[in-house]
Structure 1
């Protein structure tokens, strides 16, 4: 190489591009931006065709954008349970954003600073710093894409493959890889043909490639320093200038293709839709469901027009990463549910409709619908999919819409129809007489106050299973004894208490849920109390997060509704709602229970109920109570927000599935095999009546009856304070 090195500390953006090439490039840029803009128009016009969303999605927009930027840039959800995936995505995202910003800086310098202000800032120290940062972050970008290629094609991570895996995924990842590698190759040839100026060493990757070209003695004509247009040399044989010219155009055309393609395919469009989805997320998604109007003509998922614009955005935001699928207990138990496939099946159907396809049932029993009823019956409403999703897709909102349509169509499983009938006729899921609801308390050595007749501090909602199920009655008596020992004023509603409605709502029976909610808030209005305490996390969630959302006034005049209440209940949260572990943990902190932390010496493990943990972020109160009894708590690998569902939520407790293994069996296996204590775990501790029922069943069907005992935290506390006799637990056990 016999050239004089460039001395000015900057570079020519369009090195080797003559007037014709320059004009051609910007014609292509104009076409690309027009295609991109039209694609965005089609996307956003489709959202405007979606139904209104019941929740505020664009309020306090500056704060939403700031919060979303923090979530997206930090990649905090990508790191959740997957360090490799978190690093991989962080390298790609941070590198991509840096390269995007670098391109914007070039545009500002080229068209604003130089042509309008007749000045330049992209030179000297600024240029050196710019070059170093771009090379460093560009290298991270290429490394991240390399990690993605390794995981997808070498390791073949199971999460990345499914029936919606397509050539689009391959084109996306290889295009990004080509852009990253092509950018460095372009930089290396430019540095080489401009004489490898010393200041370019800050572009360490490009400079390294230039050194490689020098080592192999790649021929150069020196045209880069003699002419602004050396494209003619491309036809004179292979040399550095012709290589630079070819790489420049290849890189540019690939970049323009990516920009133009971005709005038209799901995988690349997630770079826009995912951020929009995080911005418009509902902080209470899942724990509160959208209400239905009182209009009986309203439909749920009869056609795609029923879906809201946010549900359509959810579909577009899905990146097919499979995180939701990997944590879904239904999929792990071979039930026919894959949360990712439901979202992507809906997206595919929408795209087919937009292309002119004929409509078909969205959900039905059979193979002609978009979603099969068995698929949605499999959902446990555990919210694991939503917790794992890095782009805040609200699966349960779409799933509930499908469940409501099933209920409207009468496609609900016969066992669930029996539950609906029991609730309608008797106010409970067991079909037992309402008069028997308080019978569990007759075994106690003290009387339980009737909260309808006497003012109490705690209005205790006992729930269906503690009221009617023999095993859970023992838990109810234990909790009553704890409250009595703590000298707490508490009372129950006896036969005016009905089922809370949480799970039948998630199965799709919305109007029956409204009836139950109206009955309860109307009953509570006639009682005097300070706080509501719930035995069941499902009741706790629905009272805390969903009853305040119901517009009772809309239904109060309906003759089918058994209430006249017409206000918004607890809209400002003036009535505190507690799960019993929260209330009792406060009593322990106040010293109102005789616990020293040394009473029991069991080795136990604890299962986080979905509706207490993932739904409401309460993880510590139950653990504090367990420790307060003296028990040694050995955590299962899947704990807190990563807890594995018992299988009873979303109506699962009332359905029969041919699954292997049952979620409850798998969870007990985890307790006995994957904890540090292993088979030394003596008690499997729960804090939910449904969990108690499911795990007692799983202990029998899984063959674990002689290996472990299922107990509620309340039973541990009662034993620790020495009050078993007052709770009459011996009688219950017999």
Structure 2
């Protein structure tokens, strides 16, 4: 049938290409690769202009690369709450990598085996296996691109479209699509021109196209020898055109990678490799050098923070889970990262400098945008490429604090903490007054040895609603017959949230005071009422370099060691400690005491920050309550709105995060309006949800309670709580 009919189980790599065209092909390949290498060099050399990162990012690099490869190849973060997106990205990634490896195999065979060893392994069984795998994975690649185009252009997924969406996004996806489609078209024309040999059925996509060409009657060169001598529309000419088109598109893509969105294929992997496992839950310390700056220029950002900017794929996952954005606060986590990247690139191209962040004016980021952040870490949890938003956001907040561009309510909070050691501005001497109405005395941990040093916290000490929770927890610990004590007026605010708002030095003062006080006490374990305190004591106090500040006359401490560096002192949230007591039988809970239908809200600092989801749930179940989960639970929990200083600031938001969350409890759970109690395990959450219950008009529909209050009722001590309420 065809003069080009093929019998050997192999094929010619450059079939139909003249020697001159062969030379031109490799000249273009060299130019594309050189452009790629230069662009990558420019990108990575730019990171050296960034500041040093305070955390070890390159230690144990081989292990980091292996673990990073596992994360990237498994696409585990892409599958997070998005099956369609996970499959789509997996098909594209696996297909692309397979086609890339297939190209490398061809290079090895041609240049290492054919030209040097005068043999070839790309034939016979290996060839058949190669062709089948390449077709299968290439088809997945095209399907994945099709899924991406469907989501972007047909469904128009809203998180993919924003002010940073640009033509480069279109060029990227269409270039990949043309590469995949062109490769199959090229294969089909080759197989058809070769007479559709039987063994090529393993190339099932190309084989199918060849059969389609045959059915359409596409002419071949051998059938036209008496005619136009090869000119016109025939399989060979179409193959030549497809070959060069495919090659030129591939060269363009290779050269374009370092200069636009495709660079995320490299930067995202690098970002995963150098990620900090404790990102967000611990923040970089500020240097004691008073000349140090936070975000006066783009080069104040660390090289990792600049890499974060380049790793962003504009996927919008962070934006879609951000409670601030959902409440119409002026924050979009993606846009903050991309605004910084855009400014850096404009500056590198000769643009004018401007303030990075300020209250109004022509700054890159507006102060109100950063004030909107709740520090809930939802953006970081959702990000598939391990961008550490909170590190950059805190840097911006520190700059605002240095400049004095801080919300007036937060300035009042700072003043209260500086003068009285608490965010309420109340007298330190009244810090332990919440315990006066208990039927027993709460021990003073400064005067006697205890097992649990209980850090009560600001809200349980001063806020009337949360005082009830503190008394409930004290009752539980007393009933469990454990040794515990508190610091009374030597307890101060933990510093967690003012640190995230940018007041680092005040945080250092508070931390130094506490560790110095703890050094004079005898205890085994620190137990915290508030997840915010739990996080900062567990993850941040041990990171603080107290010796850098101990000689500073402005600092009210002389402690100069690294506190709890080896983790010898255990730090618990109270639900973890009480869960152990329940398991050990110290509390009389049989699991059938209460019959409420309840739902539970995961606090950000206990859940996403520290992966503790089960202890509160186990305690709720131990009381006999039926737990009905909200759709957004555990690591997908929706922030109450109080973190990152949100508790103290006023926002024009609709709806409030707390109102939206209570609506979810009453409308989106299986029990719906049958949910009787909205259960929390955080004093800030208690405050925010009591407010949301009132402003949202839910006062008669649901009650907000703490886990501790359920336990007190379950162990038959609710009459004490009633007496305490009356006393209040």
Q: Do they fold alike, i.e. is TM over 0.5? A: yes
1:500 to 494, 505, 530: 494
How far apart, in 1, do the equivalents of 2:141 and 2:445 lie? 63
Aligned-pair CA distance for 1:120: 1.0
> Does 2:625 match 1:631?
yes
How far apart, in 1, do the equivalents of 2:540 and 2:15 lie? 63
Residue pair 1:324, 1:384 contacting (<8 A) in 2 also:
yes
Aligned twin of 2:129: 129
How far apart, in 2, do the equivalents of 1:611 and 1:4 lie? 69
Aligned twin of 1:183: 183
Residue pair 2:2, 2:194 contacting (<8 A) in 1 also:
no
* Counterparts in 2 of 1:441 and 1:77: CA distance versus 1, 3 Å: same
Aligned-pair CA distance for 1:726: 3.8
Aligned twin of 2:431: 437
1:513-550 per-position Cα deviation (integer Å, ceiling 9, x unaligned): 00000000000000000000000000000000000000
Aligned twin of 1:10: 10
Residue pair 1:443, 1:728 contacting (<8 A) in 2 also:
no
How far apart, in 1, do the equivalents of 2:508 and 2:111 lie? 61
How far apart, in 2, do the equivalents of 1:732 and 1:262 lie? 69
> Does 2:695 match 1:701?
yes
Secondary structure of 2:526 counterpart:
strand
Aligned twin of 2:466: 472
Aligned twin of 2:292: 298
1:680-717 per-position Cα deviation (integer Å, ceiling 9, x unaligned): 00000000000000000000000000000000000000
How far apart, in 1, do the equivalents of 2:181 and 2:327 lie? 43
1:283 to 277, 280, 298: 277
Residue pair 1:474, 1:732 contacting (<8 A) in 2 also:
no
Aligned twin of 1:368: 362
Secondary structure of 2:150 counterpart:
helix
Matches for 1:317-716 after TM superposition, within 5 Å? 317-716=311-710
How far apart, in 1, do the equivalents of 2:580 and 2:656 lie? 35
Aligned-pair CA distance for 1:469: 0.2
Q: Aligned residue pairs: how many? A: 726
1:647-679 per-position Cα deviation (integer Å, ceiling 9, x unaligned): 000000000001000000000000000000000
Secondary structure of 2:647 counterpart:
helix
How far apart, in 2, do the equivalents of 1:145 and 1:197 lie? 30
Residue pair 2:380, 2:388 contacting (<8 A) in 1 also:
yes
Matches for 1:35-184 after TM superposition, within 5 Å? 35-184=35-184
Residue pair 1:429, 1:464 contacting (<8 A) in 2 also:
yes
> Does 2:248 match 1:253?
yes
Aligned-pair CA distance for 1:117: 2.3
> Does 2:714 match 1:725?
no
TM-score by length of 2: 0.99
1:263 to 258, 261, 274: 258
How far apart, in 2, do the equivalents of 1:514 and 1:15 lie? 71
Instruction: Give the RMSD, CA atoms, in angstroms.
Output: 1.3
Aligned-pair CA distance for 1:223: 9.8
Q: Greater shift after overlay, 541-550 or 115-124?
A: 115-124
Structure 2 residues without counterparts, runs of 5 or longer? none
Residue pair 1:132, 1:204 contacting (<8 A) in 2 also:
yes
Residue pair 1:497, 1:520 contacting (<8 A) in 2 also:
yes
TM-score by length of 1: 0.98
Aligned-pair CA distance for 1:367: 3.9
Aligned-pair CA distance for 1:116: 1.8
Structure 1 residues without counterparts, runs of 5 or longer? 227-231
Residue pair 2:437, 2:724 contacting (<8 A) in 1 also:
no
* Counterparts in 2 of 1:439 and 1:254: CA distance versus 1, 3 Å: same
1:284-337 per-position Cα deviation (integer Å, ceiling 9, x unaligned): 000000000000110000011101000000000000000000000000000000
Aligned-pair CA distance for 1:719: 0.3
How far apart, in 1, do the equivalents of 2:303 and 2:630 lie? 40
How far apart, in 2, do the equivalents of 1:223 and 1:12 lie? 21
How far apart, in 2, do the equivalents of 1:77 and 1:390 lie? 5
Aligned-pair CA distance for 1:238: 1.1
How far apart, in 2, do the equivalents of 1:577 and 1:726 lie? 28
How far apart, in 1, do the equivalents of 2:148 and 2:547 lie? 53
1:78-135 per-position Cα deviation (integer Å, ceiling 9, x unaligned): 1111111111001001100110110111111111111122221111000000000000
Q: Greater shift after overlay, 284-293 or 361-370?
A: 361-370
How far apart, in 2, do the equivalents of 1:678 and 1:377 lie? 34
Secondary structure of 2:145 counterpart:
helix
